[in-house]
Structure 1
Amino acid sequence: MKTYFTLGVFLLLSSFINAQELTAKIVDSKTNEFIPFVAVQTAEFKGVISNEEGEFIIDLEDVDANTIELSCLGYQSLTITISDLKSNNYIIQLEPAINELNAIYLTNSKPNVDSIISRVNRNLIKNYKSDALSYNFFYRETAYTNFEDLDLEIKKSSKVKKRQLEEANDKLTKMGNGIKNGDFVYFTDYSGTLNIMDDSLKLNVDKATKIVNSNENVSLEEIQKNARLTVLKYLDTTMTYKLKTGLFKIEDSLSLNDDDKKEKTLNEFKIKDLKEGTISVLDKSRTGTSGMLKEVLNQDDYEYTLDNASMVNGEMVYLITFKPNRSSANFAGSLYVSEDTYGVLKLDYSYAKGKQGHKLNLKLLFGVKFIENINTGTIIYTMNDQNLYEPRYIKSEFGQYFYLNRSLKFIENSSDKNKTTFDCKIAGNTISRKELLFSSITNLDRTEFDALNEKEAIAYDVLRKYDASNWSGKQTLAPSAELKTFDGEE
């Protein structure tokens, strides 16, 4: 186990660089392993959540009475002063909670897990509200693309000379190898307010950044476009072409000149796209049909086990694990349920062993295949001043395998109808991890909602490295080690 001396020195230096912010790390007192998703309360109904590496950032101006309170399911709560935190080199140790389940069995009849789940279902409407609300949030997305196979080749051409054909294929091979060996990851951060009224949405984004490497992120569309342009350069650039794949005609008129004249895309996000991304994550926490609570609380589809019970912030909390009971169920995970309210405090889920999501296999017919192979997440709820549970933090990770193998045929728009056949084979995996941290959630009335104006787009800053000063004064997620060490210039 590595010592935490270096980390403590780093965090101490960080506090001098930005005196208004404090960064610390939370570890298990027994194992010294970091503890993710710890609620760090800086004031009443205000605070942050530690990231997956147990690290958090707080603004000292948000701290009341010079103390912070830490709570995490499975651990004893802790209140610590800022001065004591500094004395401990910005390392906080939490004690594991005592398993109270055996004590409950000795003093009471054994709790029936199906009865607990039934009560959770009955109290869903009472415990949760998801409409007429204004969500103040911070959003982070980390996206990866890993190419396992990328073959690009001009198979035959009725007009391109052999030497030119070899030259073109050499360029395509280098392009493919460069992409396969590249590190394609990008990070998107933005903060703002999502307003919901009667299923209508309005999004206000006040700041956005995108951290990418110097090659930008690579999509299947971009790869095909760049390969297509390479092929066009070796054809007669004075001509236009039809582009066909299999039985389908893609374009009537295609030329190199048309692509050269296209304007460069501005560094801006469409609000419509950000809204779709934000609500897709938020929906995981809601009690509607698209929410994960509705999915895993279906007692016909899932089997439940009561594993543990412990005291958290003065209330008894049940730890219940679940797994599929029918072939139609896909997830396994755990629920933390309050004995007092039968509200879910935390939900962890992922595909159960052997389970997958949507898939399409038209490999033989159209050369296309994809499989959703990752769907995992964590949702943490806290009770507000109206005794309703609201999401505090949501993580949703989604991944899929993709395969594309197709021949593109360039047909010259002329009486000769010269043809060039280009083969494109791509296979790999994509993973997208989306996180939402809520700093506040307030009630919203119709008049307020109608008065809100929504922009069509928001400009974002393109960065090559993470810079904490970009988010100074805002409640954000602490950057992971991967994000802190990412250097897009390398």
Structure 2
Amino acid sequence: MQNKYALLFFSLLCLTGFSVSAQQLTGKLFSKETKESIPYAAVQIGENYGVITNNEGEFQINVDRFSANDSLYFSSMGFVEQKIALKDFQPKSSIYLKEDVSQLENVFLVNRNLSIEEIMTKVNENLDKNYTYSLKKFDIFSRKQSTTKVLDMEFEINKATFLDKSVRKDFNKSIDSLLNVNKNSTNTSYSESYTQIFIGSSLDSLKVDLQKVTQLKDETKAGDAEDFSSQVFEKIAKNLKSKNTFKVKSGLLPIDDSLEVGESFRVKENNDSLLTKDVKSTHARSMKHSANLHPGKLDFVEDFEAYDFTQEKITGYQGEMVYVLNFIPRKGRAKYHGTLYISSETFAVIKAEYELEEGEKAAGMNLKFLLGIKYRRNKNTGIVIFKKNAQNTYDPIYLKSSTQDYVYLNRSFKFKENTDDRSNRIKFKFDLLVENESYTNQELLIVKTEPITAETFNSFKEKEGVLIDKIKKYNAYIWKDYNIISPEKDLQEFEY
């Protein structure tokens, strides 16, 4: 569906630790003191290459480019870093990290005791210096889980001059079948991808090398309001015989005076591939606008005066002293609670954990009675982790977000063919109602970051896209040559 209709339809990862090959090592991290697993810990070889443990403390890392004398480094906030030579690493190892209590004895290393207000002010003052993404290449693994609960779904044609009486019955039958499959259903899908992103001299210049995409999805069901709308419009397009454009209105609102129905309504005939241009636009928006990539855009950083902060302790992470600040809402406009981890030297946000307060909404609009549209984001939690690079700035190494959205769409649409032959002009009108809740969990692992030259950026040529590897059950072998986030149990066992 074209971008101009996005508002109307709210377009608004075998077993864990699969058998070790010559290239892939797997294991799990635990706290030596508590014996609890350590999620989101860094597992690295060298400065700019590594993975993150998943929510269950598990990891897998491809090491085919390294020698037996190279070492894996394991680090997590508040723990002593540990290293193990590849030649000494045992398959499916359990690694125990010791808590770094010595850091509390080194508080004197901080130049002076700063107030929380002073710390947060310095965070904001140093944002431009600490986070810069120009002339860089990122290798990114992405995993997305989407679950949609269809609460209600209706479609009714009020007028359709393009439908002969002989095909009207079959058309309505196909629509009823579509409704029966989707109404009151719950659909879960997974998608994974590995992409290289090249950034030029500014965030406005970006190129994408889409390398691999997998999809685990029941395509007979609609994933969301847009999916259902596309399925309906595909059926309309199959019955619509016109080379002319159409005037389109929804209620009193004109949408388009010259809509090319075949292009705008028809679902992509080739849905087995993912186009570079589509991935590029998504990453371009993220690089420019995502608060996770730009801590200054995080509500509790940008508007820190609306929050109450308490300093928990000072700890260490990968050679840096770190302030640990908890925050809760103080003023009405504050929406989140969580924890910030801030470098005492550079005042960079190294890690942020946040969750939307109960009863708050992260975003939304309610035009239900005026325009038949309602949207609300009822849940928004996230984790973002950064690491200092050789240039003493910070690059993201892991991002995780979980959202819950409610969407209600109840609209009437009118189409009138643009033709001088009024007696045979095609007209049709239909009512569409879709109400659903969607739950999305997305993780990004930045496997590798490296600086590039303007010449490298300019010389890179994008390809059109890549074929989607569609699967019915998770298969870890697909990713044997890549660094990814180790799959959790739900994904390992999911199939349809």
After TM superposition, the score normalised by the length of structure 2 is: 0.78
Question: Residue 104 of structure 1: CA displacement?
Answer: 5.4
Pick which of 444-453 and 76-85 moved more: 76-85
Partner of 2:93 in structure 1?
Answer: 90
Cα distance in 1, alignment partners of residues 94 and 144 from structure 2? 27
Structure 2: distance between partners of 1:324 and 1:216 = 40
Deviation at 1:49, TM superposition (A): 0.7
Deviations 1:53-73, CA, capped at 9 Å, x for gaps: 322111233476364221111
| Paired residues of 2:81 and 2:318 also in contact (CA < 8 A) | yes
Give the deviation of 1:411 after TM superposition.
7.8
* Alignment partner, residue 470 of structure 2: 462
Does structure 1 residue 195 correspond to structure 2 residue 199?
yes
Question: 1:168 deviation in Å?
Answer: 6.9
Counterparts of 2:286 and 2:38 in 1: how far apart (Å)?
23
Kindly tell me the number of residue pairs found equivalent between the two proteins: 473
- Name the counterpart of 1:380: 385
2:187–2:221 CA contact under 8 A, matched in 1: no
Please provide the CA RMSD for this pair.
Answer: 4.3
Q: Report the 3-state secondary structure (helix = DSSP H, G, I; strand = E; otherwise coil) of the residue aligned with 1:475.
A: coil
State which of 306, 319, 322 in structure 1 corresponds to 2:327: 322
1:146 to 144, 149, 168: 149
Match status 1:246 vs 2:254: no
Which of 430, 435, 454 aligns to 2:438? It is 430
1:69 and 2:61 matched: no
* 1:324/1:259 CA distance change after superposition, 3 Å: closer
Counterparts of 1:259 and 1:122, CA distance in 2: 46
Aligned to 2:133: 130
C-alpha separation between the residues in 1 aligned to 2:326 and 2:37?
22
Cα shift readout 1:410-455 (whole Å, capped 9, x = no counterpart): 7899759999864432111223333322222222232222222223
208-217 vs 222-231, which moves further: 222-231
| Equivalent in the alignment of 2:479 | 471
Partner of residue 39, structure 1: 42
For 1:223, the equivalent position in structure 2 comes to: 228
CA 1:10/1:471 → structure 2, altered by over 3 Å: closer, same or farther? closer
Q: Is this contact kept in 1: 2:230–2:265, CA < 8 A?
A: no
Cα shift at 1:48: 1.0
8 Å CA contact retained: 1:141, 1:189:
no
Are 1:400 and 2:405 matched, yes or no?
yes
Alignment check: 8 A CA contact 1:23 1:58 kept: yes
What secondary structure sits across from 2:291 in the alignment? helix
Choose the corresponding residue for 1:53, options 52, 56, 67.
56
DSSP 3-state at the match of 1:365: coil
How far does the alpha carbon of each residue in 1:36-58 deviate from its partner, in whole angstroms, 9 at most, with x for none? 21101233442211122322111
Distance in 2 (CA, whole Å) between partners of 1:50 and 1:440 is 15
Q: Are residues 176 and 440 of structure 1, via their aligned partners in 2, closer, same or farther at CA, if it must alter by over 3 Å?
A: same
Secondary structure of the structure 2 residue equivalent to 1:43: coil
SS at 1:141 equivalent: strand
**Residue 236 of structure 1, CA deviation:** 11
Partner of 1:207: 212
Task: Report deviation, 1:346.
Answer: 0.7
**Amino acid of the structure 1 residue aligned with 2:357:** A
Q: How does 1:271-310 map to 2 (within 5 A)?
A: 271-282=276-287, 283-287=290-294, 291-292=297-298, 296-310=301-315
Q: 2:374 corresponds to which residue?
A: 369
Q: Would you say the 8 A contact 2:143–2:190 is kept in 1? A: no
3-state SS of 1:393 partner: strand
Deviations, residues 145-178 of structure 1 (Å, cap 9, x unaligned): 2212223345799999999999876754543242
Asked if 1 retains the 8 angstrom alpha-carbon contact of 2:146 and 2:438, the reply is: yes
Contact kept, 8 Å, 1:130 with 1:286, in 2: the verdict is no
Give the superposition deviation at 1:287.
Answer: 4.2
Answer whether contact 1:186 1:217 (CA < 8 A) is retained.
Answer: no
1:190–1:207 Cα contact (<8 Å) kept: yes
Deviates more, 1:217-226 or 1:443-452: 217-226
SS in 1 for 2:229: helix
- The answer to whether 1:444 aligns with 2:452 is yes
State the alpha-carbon separation in 2 of the partners of residues 242 and 342 from structure 1.
Answer: 55
Which of 17, 23, 45 is the equivalent residue of 1:20?
23
Q: Unpaired segments of 5 or more residues in structure 2? A: 1-13
Of 90, 103, 116 in structure 2, the residue corresponding to residue 113 of structure 1 is 116
Judge conservation of contact 2:233–2:265 (CA < 8 Å) in 1. no
Amino acid across the alignment from 1:316: M
Provide the rounded CA distance (Å) in 1 between the counterparts of 2:349 and 2:383.
12
CA distance in 1, matches of 2:40, 2:267: 45
Q: What is the CA–CA distance in structure 2 between the aligned matches of 1:430 and 1:347, rounded to whole Å?
A: 24
Change (3 A) 1:117 1:225: closer
* Corresponding position of 1:5: none
* Distance apart, 1:140 and its partner CA: 2.6
Cα distance in structure 1, aligned partners of 2:56 and 2:155: 40
Q: Report what 1:354 is aligned to.
A: 359
Contact in 2 for aligned 1:296/1:331 (Cα 8 Å)? no
**How much does 1:319 deviate?**
1.1
SS at match of 1:354: coil
* TM-score, normalisation: structure 1: 0.79
What amino acid is aligned across from residue 121 of structure 2 in structure 1? S
Shift of 1:82: 5.5
Residue 159 (structure 2) pairs with residue 176 (structure 1): no
- Alpha-carbon distance, 1:23 to partner: 1.9
